[in-house]
């Protein structure tokens, strides 16, 4: 359908470009910054012309941070590894627990099922700091403070409700008739869950998993309070760049680029699963 | 061993009863058509038998055994759904094979089983397609093949022809009885199309408002409908319904129409003086040269599927439809006379809508109650 | 003609035109609709009927060709400026408004008093049997009710043209039959012009003055219901129109003395006096190696002396009986208006009169003849 005039089309294109530039500019600027030294970044007026350098990346990877005051050692690569470990295990656990739970909530309406589902969601309402204080005390008493296990557990507060509520919607969208048909064909409920419900909700599970991963990756306060230096993810580790002798913009930029890279790659890879249609034309209409 | 019996089956959703006490007996190897308007509870009833929905009361017996506590996968049922319910991520072969994979057949047995039923239903050339790539007719046949492939003794078919085009629906209607007879299965077939019901059913159970209001052969349902509503559901164009009060004299019982008599069955003498509704099927009425017929004015004539339907009005402007084969000559305008055989006229109580039976009171209604 | 209301001229619709797999949904469509006429676009799904309707409404752009209403090209106008009303197959009611407000919404631009609006809504609600749900919201009514509300909203408008997309698809058969008559009466009484899209030929026959049969994006025939049945232009229309569908058999012709013989498969041979066919037709039949004969089920007679055929289904439907039998390697269906008993397995005699034959070219499917004379 095209009733628009040429002018309208041009204006639309301009507006779209403006929006894209607006959102992409910070990322673009950070990539540029990561390739410059602190001096070229801070010159006034700012200029787009500079000699690109990989010094910042080298410093981050080797853990030798150059500053005006001299070199200091940081653990950025360790932080990155922590982020990956924490996010991957948190999402894996949340999927393991959340997907079957979502299926149960979608298919079996029992007394109080809505209340339980809502309670799980309500974890997201409370300000994290409020939860953290008592949690720290418990964790210390249990010996869970500053362990990966403890952190992965706390991360379920972020991942589980997200996965539960998104995946539940996808399960509800599958026609119950399709599952009934498989049951009547002679398969048990678990086979039906595995062979019918899981594949059909696949795109939804992928989307929920990706979102949960991003949320886990970006978490700051839980790790700040509950983890010491060797367990901290990049979000907390980045604090190290704020040194007494100034802020190392170039190195921060390089660290940012390296820390958004995993989520970005994951999102690009998962995209083909996300766009896959849900129903694929099984049911008429 | 595969007789289906339902005893006082009850199903409620929240506080509303969808099925309120269904009693049904389908003898082994026969086909029962479950007919009724949408929302009558047909699909729910089928699901209770299949075990996809749990009943709130009553029993489902298959082959004499109560299956209430038997899981759907162990009931040995084949089912076809109105919306086909094919597995979208599997090709047609895997869809059809799904009942066979469940019972641990070898790959060769599965292939042989699927090929046989696919050939029978003429879908052997599309077995590698996913449901998305199948036409509506092919989807319907795939769904049917999936229901038939394990040769189940009980087949539940939920309006399987509803979503296919008229031509295929007609062809399938002709083929299905033979197909079902070859299977030797006990069949419950749900439909909203009265023609399908009459063509396929050994018996028809009419379901309305969660109750079976009549259970009979197609002939009984068509010629002796238990209620006005059933009479209206069967037949196209629908039955003519005229308010009458039967009278009697030495010559017998009759109803008056345009000051002429429509002779009624003598057994209906008990209805004299009662407020009734006279049901006259359009095709049972015919034009006559004789003056004793009911005088009518011809208003309009419409061709309708090789039939000609004439709208006529009586002296008191009551509308009546008369239908006849298109090739049969008849007056097309002005005044004419129509007549009907007494055995083709049915009489209903105006208050209750229940048919009045010549051989007693309201026999059919009692049976349904 | 001066009273042509809508004119479609060489309309093409191509989807994904710029991609590697363009789909031609409508091909070179020419169609004119006169003022006050009801036209049905009839065909199975994917035949291009809905695309055509959406192009007239303005929800799809034409790929090429012109659409004129009252001689004025409108295919470049926005939908709102075409003065065309449309009832949708899917429900398109505004959820926050009641059914009554939904219907009245269509009258917004007509500057009527509140009383007038109320009266008009009440009238159309009565017509479509939705009076009792006027104060309900679309979310709380059934699919069939939503569809009737959508239909009411389209019909109440004072538009040049009313487009109805499967207006009764969701309704129960009994209600559908009742509303068909009322709908036709309503449209005719007000002199409205309507285009109806349907896949149901009973509906098309009951409502339309003329029916455009479409298949594969191509208009097959545009004619009155009676002509479509008696004089189908090609094999597609012949087998598509009519319930049950026409029986068709491949055949060849030869002369034998004063007789014309039509040889079907399995050694079945229909013999007719040569005088039953016009000379032109005879010449044409004898000249072509193969053609297809069609005979409507109502014209297939069962007689003791007919060609033997084995019955495989006998279905009584109350007012008629459908008998299916194996004949000339295929299924032949006979319809009788009485109650016939031919048990499966029984052999019956089949007879077809020359004047009931439709003959089509085997390759193009074009009709040669209806009855004994050339088409």
Mean pLDDT across the stretch A194-202?
Answer: 92
Give A264→chain C minimum CA distance, Å: 29
CA atoms within 13 A on the CB side of B121: 27
CATH code, B285: 2.40.50.140
A43 occurs within a structural domain: yes
Compute the distance between CA of residue C110 and CA of residue A284 in angstroms, rounded to an integer: 39
Contacts of A283 in chain B (CB under 8 A): 83-86, 88
Q: Are residues A186 and A94 in the same domain?
A: yes
Interaxial angle between packed helices B42-50 and A176-184, expressed in degrees from 0 to 180 and rounded to the nearest 10? 40
Verify whether the Cβ–Cβ distance B85 to A175 is below 8 Å. yes
Tens-digit pLDDT profile for residues C230-262: 999 999 999 999 889 999 999 999 998 889 999
Verify whether the Cβ–Cβ distance B193 to C173 is below 8 Å. yes
Give C77→chain A minimum CA distance, Å: 7
Name the percent of chain A lying above pLDDT 90.
25
Fold of C4-234: Rossmann fold (3.40.50)
Compute the distance between CA of residue B82 and CA of residue C106 in angstroms, rounded to an integer: 35
B365 occurs within a structural domain: no
Average pLDDT, chain B: 89
Which segment of A217-226, C31-40, C309-318 scores lowest on mean pLDDT? A217-226
End-to-end CA distance of chain B: 28
pLDDT tier at B364, thresholds 50, 70, 90: very low
Q: Which pLDDT score is estimated for B292?
A: 77
CATH code, B92: 3.40.50.300
Instruction: Give C274-314 as a DSSP string.
Output: GGGS-HHHHHHHHHSS-EEEEE-GGG-EEEEEEEEEEEEEE
SS3 A224: helix
Structure tokens, A262: 């995993």
B36 occurs within a structural domain: yes
**Beta-bridge mates of residue B304:** B307
Domain count, chain A: 2
Tens-digit pLDDT profile for residues A149-189: 988 998 898 899 989 988 998 999 898 999 999 999 999 99
Tens-digit pLDDT profile for residues A40-79: 887 777 777 778 888 888 888 887 766 666 666 777 888 8
Q: Are residues A219 and A106 in the same domain?
A: yes
Which string of b and e fits C215-243 if b means at least 16 CB within 10 Å? bebbbbbbbebebbbebbbbbbbbbbbbb
Chain C: touching chains (3 or more CB pairs < 8 Å): A, B
Mean pLDDT across the stretch C41-54?
Answer: 91
Mean pLDDT across the stretch C357-375?
Answer: 87
Q: Are residues A81 and A92 in the same domain?
A: yes
Q: Which pLDDT score is estimated for B113?
A: 92
Verify whether the Cβ–Cβ distance C313 to B177 is below 8 Å. yes
CA atoms within 13 A on the CB side of A40: 16
Structure tokens, C147: 């569809």
Q: Are residues B136 and B251 in the same domain?
A: no
pLDDT tier at B209, thresholds 50, 70, 90: confident
pLDDT tier at C40, thresholds 50, 70, 90: very high
Mean pLDDT across the stretch C281-300?
Answer: 92
CA dihedral C321, C322, C326, C327 (to 10 degrees): 90
β-sheet with B319-325: strand ranges across: B285-288, B335-340, B294-304, B307-313, B319-325
**Residue of B71, B81, B130 lying closest to A181 (CB–CB):** B81
SS3 C212: strand
Which domain-ending residue is among B202, B226, B250? B226
CB pairs under 8 A between B and C: 92
Q: Are residues A37 and A57 in the same domain?
A: yes
Which segment of B36-40, C81-85, C157-161 scores lowest on mean pLDDT? B36-40
Longest pairwise C-alpha distance within chain B: 79
Whether the predicted pLDDT of B3 surpasses 90: yes
Return the residue in A111, A178, A183, A184 with the most chain B beta carbons within 10 A, the one to mutate for interface testing.
A184
Contacts of A1 in chain C (CB under 8 A): 58-61
Contacts of C341 in chain B (CB under 8 A): none
Q: Which pLDDT score is estimated for C91?
A: 66
Q: Which pLDDT score is estimated for A68?
A: 60
Q: Other CB atoms closer than 10 Å to residue C17's CB: what's the count?
A: 11
Contacts of A3 in chain C (CB under 8 A): 58, 61, 76-78
Extents of the domains making up chain C = 4-234, 247-374
Q: Are residues A148 and A264 in the same domain?
A: yes
What is the value of ipTM here, to two decimals? 0.88
pLDDT tier at A277, thresholds 50, 70, 90: very low
Q: Are residues B92 and B177 in the same domain?
A: yes
Q: Are residues B194 and B326 in the same domain?
A: no
**Beta-bridge mates of residue B337:** B288, B295
Mean pLDDT across the stretch A116-145?
Answer: 84
Domain count, chain B: 2
Give B325→chain C minimum CA distance, Å: 7
List of E strands, B74-149: 77-80
B167 occurs within a structural domain: yes
Q: Other CB atoms closer than 10 Å to residue B337's CB: what's the count?
A: 19
Mean pLDDT across the stretch B181-196?
Answer: 92
Residue in this structure with the two tokens 């969660």, named with its chain if needed: B210
Domain that holds residue A228: 76-275
Average pLDDT, chain C: 91
pLDDT tier at B86, thresholds 50, 70, 90: very high
Q: Are residues A137 and A88 in the same domain?
A: yes
B289 occurs within a structural domain: yes
DSSP state of B276: E
Q: Are residues B17 and B141 in the same domain?
A: yes
Helix (H) or strand (E) holding C227: helix C225-230
Name the percent of chain C lying above pLDDT 90.
69
Which domain-ending residue is among A73, A102, A128? A73
Tens-digit pLDDT profile for residues B87-120: 999 999 999 999 999 888 899 999 999 999 998 8
Whether the predicted pLDDT of B297 surpasses 70: yes
Which domain-ending residue is among A73, A101, A123? A73
Whether the predicted pLDDT of A126 surpasses 90: no
Q: Are residues B23 and B117 in the same domain?
A: yes
Whether the predicted pLDDT of A1 surpasses 60: no
Longest pairwise C-alpha distance within chain A: 75
Mean pLDDT across the stretch C42-57?
Answer: 91
Q: What angle do CA A75, A79, A84 make, to 5 degrees?
A: 150
**Residue of A180, A281, A283 lying closest to B52 (CB–CB):** A180
**Residue of A175, A177, A281 lying closest to B131 (CB–CB):** A281
Q: Which pLDDT score is estimated for C34?
A: 96
**Residue of A184, A281, A282 lying closest to B52 (CB–CB):** A184
B367 occurs within a structural domain: no
Q: Are residues B83 and B103 in the same domain?
A: yes
Mean pLDDT across the stretch C330-344?
Answer: 91
Whether the predicted pLDDT of B248 surpasses 80: yes
Which domain-ending residue is among B226, B251, B286? B226
Please tell me the pTM assigned to this model. Answer: 0.83
Q: Are residues A16 and A105 in the same domain?
A: no
Q: Which pLDDT score is estimated for B331?
A: 84
Contacts of A280 in chain B (CB under 8 A): 88-89, 130-132
Whether the predicted pLDDT of C135 surpasses 50: yes
Q: Which pLDDT score is estimated for B263?
A: 87
Q: Are residues A167 and A114 in the same domain?
A: yes
Which domain-ending residue is among A73, A94, A119? A73
Q: Are residues B142 and B35 in the same domain?
A: yes
Verify whether the Cβ–Cβ distance A281 to B77 is below 8 Å. no
Q: Other CB atoms closer than 10 Å to residue C101's CB: what's the count?
A: 15
pLDDT tier at B368, thresholds 50, 70, 90: very low
Mean pLDDT across the stretch A207-220?
Answer: 88
Mean pLDDT across the stretch B149-155?
Answer: 93
Structure tokens, B325: 């084969």
Whether the predicted pLDDT of B228 surpasses 90: yes
B69 occurs within a structural domain: yes
Which domain-ending residue is among B200, B226, B252? B226
Whether the predicted pLDDT of B363 surpasses 50: no
| Residue in chain A nearest B157 by alpha carbon | A181
CA C74 to chain centre: 26
Q: Decide: A65 and A248 in contact? Cβ < 8 Å.
A: yes
Q: Are residues A49 and A93 in the same domain?
A: no
Q: Other CB atoms closer than 10 Å to residue C51's CB: what's the count?
A: 24
Q: Are residues A124 and A233 in the same domain?
A: yes
Instruction: Give C4-73 as a DSSP string.
Output: EEEEEEEEEEEETTTSSS-EEEEEEEEEEEETT-EEEEE-STTSSHHHHHHHHHTSS--SEEEEEETTEE
Mean pLDDT across the stretch C18-23?
Answer: 81
Which segment of B74-83, B208-217, B264-273 scores lowest on mean pLDDT? B264-273
Return the residue in B72, B74, B148, B149 with the most chain A beta carbons within 10 A, the one to mutate for interface testing.
B72
Q: Using only C-alpha atoms, what is the Rg of chain A?
A: 24
Contacts of A198 in chain B (CB under 8 A): none
pLDDT tier at A237, thresholds 50, 70, 90: confident
Helix (H) or strand (E) holding C194: strand C194-198
Return the residue in C315, C323, C324, C371 with the most chain B beta carbons within 10 A, the one to mutate for interface testing.
C315
CATH number of this structure's domain C247-374, picked from the four choices 3.30.365.10, 2.40.50.140, 3.30.300.350, 1.10.287.130? 2.40.50.140
Q: Are residues A90 and A33 in the same domain?
A: no
Same fold for the domain at C4-234 and the one at C247-374? Answer: no
Q: Which pLDDT score is estimated for B361?
A: 52
Give B198→chain C minimum CA distance, Å: 6
Q: Are residues B181 and B73 in the same domain?
A: yes
Mean pLDDT across the stretch A207-212?
Answer: 88
Verify whether the Cβ–Cβ distance A184 to B150 is below 8 Å. no
Which segment of A5-9, A98-102, C290-294 scores lowest on mean pLDDT? A5-9
Give me the phi and psi of C339, to 5 degrees please.
Answer: -100, 110
**Residue of B50, B101, B163 lying closest to A184 (CB–CB):** B50
Compute the distance between CA of residue B292 and CA of residue B281 in angstroms, rounded to an integer: 20
Domain that holds residue B275: 229-360
Q: Are residues B181 and B313 in the same domain?
A: no
- Hey, is the C-beta of A285 within 8 angstroms of any chain C C-beta? no
């Amino acid at each position: 359908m095209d009733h628009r005039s040429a002018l309208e089309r041009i204006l639309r294109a301009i507006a779209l470009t403006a929006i894209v530039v607006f959102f992409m500019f910070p990322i673009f600027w950070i990539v540029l910054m990561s390739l410059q030294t602190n001096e070229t970044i801070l010159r006034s007026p700012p200029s787009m012309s500079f000699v690109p350098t990989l010094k910042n990346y080298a410093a981050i990877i080797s853990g030798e941070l150059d500053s005006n005051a001299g070199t200091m050692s940081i653990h950025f690569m360790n932080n990155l590894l922590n982020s990956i470990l924490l996010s991957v295990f948190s999402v894996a656990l949340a999927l393991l627990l959340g997907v079957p739970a979502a299926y149960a909530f979608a298919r079996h309406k029992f007394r109080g099922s809505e209340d339980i589902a809502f309670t799980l969601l309500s974890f997201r309402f409370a300000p994290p700091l409020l939860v953290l204080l008592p949690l720290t005390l418990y964790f210390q008493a249990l010996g869970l403070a500053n362990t990966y296990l403890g952190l992965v557990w706390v991360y379920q507060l972020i991942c589980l409700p997200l996965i539960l509520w998104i995946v539940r919607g996808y399960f509800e969208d599958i026609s119950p008739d399709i599952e009934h048909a498989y049951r009547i064909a002679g398969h048990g409920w678990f086979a039906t869950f595995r062979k019918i419900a899981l594949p059909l909700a696949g795109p939804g599970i992928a989307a929920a998993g990706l979102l949960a991963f991003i949320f886990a990756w970006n978490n700051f306060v839980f790790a700040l309070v509950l983890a010491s230096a060797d367990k901290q993810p990049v979000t907390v580790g980045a604090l190290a760049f704020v040194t007494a002798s100034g802020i190392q913009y170039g190195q921060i930029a390089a660290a940012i680029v390296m820390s958004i890279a995993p989520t970005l790659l994951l999102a690009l890879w998962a995209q083909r699963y996300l766009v896959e249609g849900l129903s694929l034309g099984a049911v008429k209409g | 061993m595969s007789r289906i019996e339902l005893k006082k089956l009850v199903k409620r959703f929240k506080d509303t009863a969808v099925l309120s006490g269904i009693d049904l007996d389908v003898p082994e190897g026969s086909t029962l058509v479950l007919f009724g308007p949408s929302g009558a509870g047909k699909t729910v009833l089928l699901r209770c038998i299949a075990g996809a929905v749990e009943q709130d009361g009553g029993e489902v017996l298959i082959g004499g055994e109560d299956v209430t506590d038997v899981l759907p996968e162990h009931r040995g049922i084949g089912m076809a759904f109105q919306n086909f319910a094919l597995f979208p991520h599997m090709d047609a072969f895997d869809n059809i094979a799904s009942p066979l994979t469940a019972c641990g057949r070898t790959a060769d047995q599965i292939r042989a089983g699927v090929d046989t039923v696919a050939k029978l239903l003429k879908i052997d050339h599309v077995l590698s397609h996913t449901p998305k790539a199948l036409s509506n007719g092919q989807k319907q046949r795939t769904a049917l093949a999936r229901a038939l492939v394990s040769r189940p003794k009980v087949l539940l078919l939920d309006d399987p022809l509803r979503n296919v085009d008229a031509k295929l629906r007609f062809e399938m209607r002709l083929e299905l009885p033979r197909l079902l007879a070859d299977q030797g299965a006990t069949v419950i077939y749900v439909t909203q199309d009265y023609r399908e019901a009459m063509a396929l059913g050994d018996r028809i159970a009419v379901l309305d408002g969660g109750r079976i209001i009549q259970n009979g052969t197609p002939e009984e349902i068509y010629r002796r409908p238990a209620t006005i509503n059933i009479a209206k559901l069967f037949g196209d164009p629908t039955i003519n319904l005229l308010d009458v009060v039967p009278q009697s004299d030495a010559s017998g019982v009759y109803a008056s129409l345009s000051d002429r008599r429509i002779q009624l069955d003598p057994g209906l003498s008990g209805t004299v003086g009662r407020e009734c509704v006279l049901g006259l099927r359009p095709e049972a009425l015919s034009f006559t040269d004789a003056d004793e017929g009911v005088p009518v004015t011809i208003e309009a004539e419409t061709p309708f599927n090789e039939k000609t339907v004439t709208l006529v009005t009586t002296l008191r402007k009551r509308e009546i439809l008369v239908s006849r084969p298109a090739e049969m000559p008849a007056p097309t305008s002005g005044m004419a006379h129509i007549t009907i055989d007494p055995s083709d006229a049915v009489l209903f109580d105006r208050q209750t809508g229940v048919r009045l039976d010549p051989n007693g009171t309201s026999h059919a209604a009692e049976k349904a109650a | 003609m001066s009273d042509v209301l809508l004119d479609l001229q060489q309309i093409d619709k191509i989807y994904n035109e710029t991609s590697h797999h363009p789909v031609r949904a409508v091909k070179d469509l020419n169609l004119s609709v006169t003022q006050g006429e009801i036209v049905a676009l009839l065909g199975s799904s994917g035949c291009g009927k809905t695309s055509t309707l959406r192009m007239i409404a303005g929800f799809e752009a034409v790929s090429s060709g012109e659409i004129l209403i009252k001689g004025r090209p409108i295919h470049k106008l926005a939908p709102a400026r075409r003065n065309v009303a449309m009832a949708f197959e899917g429900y398109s009611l505004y959820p926050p408004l009641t059914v009554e407000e939904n219907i009245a919404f269509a009258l917004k631009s007509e500057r009527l008093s509140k009383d007038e609006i109320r009266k008009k809504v009440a009238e159309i609600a009565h017509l479509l049997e939705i009076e009792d749900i006027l104060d309900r919201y679309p979310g709380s009514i059934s699919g069939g009710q939503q569809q009737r509300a959508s239909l009411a909203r389209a019909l109440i408008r004072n538009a040049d043209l009313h487009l109805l997309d499967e207006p009764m698809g969701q309704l129960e058969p009994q209600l559908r039959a009742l509303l068909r008559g009322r709908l036709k009466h309503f449209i005719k009484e007000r002199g409205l012009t309507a285009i109806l899209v349907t896949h149901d030929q009973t509906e098309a026959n009951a409502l339309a003055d003329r029916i455009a049969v479409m298949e594969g994006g191509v208009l097959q025939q545009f004619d009155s219901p009676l002509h479509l049945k008696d004089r189908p232009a090609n094999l597609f229309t012949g087998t598509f129109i009519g319930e049950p569908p026409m029986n068709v058999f491949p055949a060849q012709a030869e002369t034998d003395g004063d007789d014309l013989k039509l040889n079907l498969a399995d050694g079945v041979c229909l013999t007719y006096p040569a005088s039953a066919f016009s000379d032109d037709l005879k010449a044409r039949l004898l000249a072509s190696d193969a053609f297809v004969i069609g005979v409507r089920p109502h014209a297939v007679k069962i007689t003791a002396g007919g060609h033997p055929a084995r019955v495989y289904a006998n279905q009584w439907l109350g007012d008629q009986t459908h008998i299916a039998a194996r004949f000339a390697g295929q299924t032949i269906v006979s319809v009788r208006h009485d109650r016939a008993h031919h048990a499966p397995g029984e052999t019956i005699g089949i007879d077809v009169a020359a004047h009931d034959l439709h003959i089509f070219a085997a390759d193009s499917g074009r009709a040669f003849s209806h009855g004994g004379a050339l088409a």
